Amino acid sequence: MERFNTMLEAAEYAATLCNSWSFAYSNTEVYDSAKLLVSAQMSDEENPVDEDSFYVVSPSGTIGLCQDGEEIDWLFLSNCAVDEDLPATLSSASQQIKFCPNCGSGVVPGARFCAGCGTKLS
Ligand SMILES: [Zn+2]
């Protein structure tokens, strides 16, 4: 799970993973990359998040807002992985990657590479 301080950064990253999103609170509206980036920019200008908050992007490109460092409010759902199992909190997200699939050593939550063998973690 990647973390970003602004929604625009999150959206730019998500756009490398996916090309279509649905807004979580309206299942009729579909966003393409351009529309997502415009919405993200407006959101940053109108409702910048405070220091304790950040955006997260799931491996499929779903964008969520983490307000208290724990619970995740998923905002833009990736249409590339509709059955994705999204964690409700960051701690449950980090539990998904607990051990290196290659060598089995413990992995720090959020680490990109295994400290034991250097395998890239997804
Ligand atoms: Zn390893």
Structural domain including 33 reads: 2-88
Q: Examine the domain organization and report whether 82 and 108 are in the same domain.
A: no
What's the structural domain count of the chain?
Answer: 2
For 62-72, give one letter per residue: b (16+ CB within 10 A) or e.
bbbbbeeeeeb
Instruction: Using the mean position of ligand 1's atoms as its centre, give its distance from the Cα of residue 113 in Å.
Output: 8
| Residue 95 reports pLDDT greater than 70 | no
Q: Note the pTM of the prediction, 2 decimals.
A: 0.73
56 with 79, same domain? yes
- Measured CA to CA, the distance from residue 76 to residue 94 in angstroms comes to 20
Over residues 12-56, the pLDDT tens digits come to 999 999 999 999 888 688 999 999 999 999 999 999 998 889 999
Considering the domain architecture, whether residues 15 and 47 belong to the same structural domain is answered as: yes
**How many Å apart are CA 86 and CA 92, to the nearest integer?**
9
* Rounded Cα–Cα distance for residues 59 and 96 (Å): 12
Report CA(77)–ligand 1 centroid distance (Å).
31
Q: How far is the CA of 118 from the centre of ligand 1 (A)?
A: 6
- Nearest residue to 58 via CA among 122, 105, 112: 122
At residue 98, does pLDDT exceed 90?
Answer: no
Distance 43 CA to ligand 1 centre (A): 39
Q: Clarify whether residues 83 and 60 are in a common domain.
A: yes
121 alpha carbon – ligand 1 mean position (Å): 9
Q: Are residues 56 and 101 in the same domain?
A: no
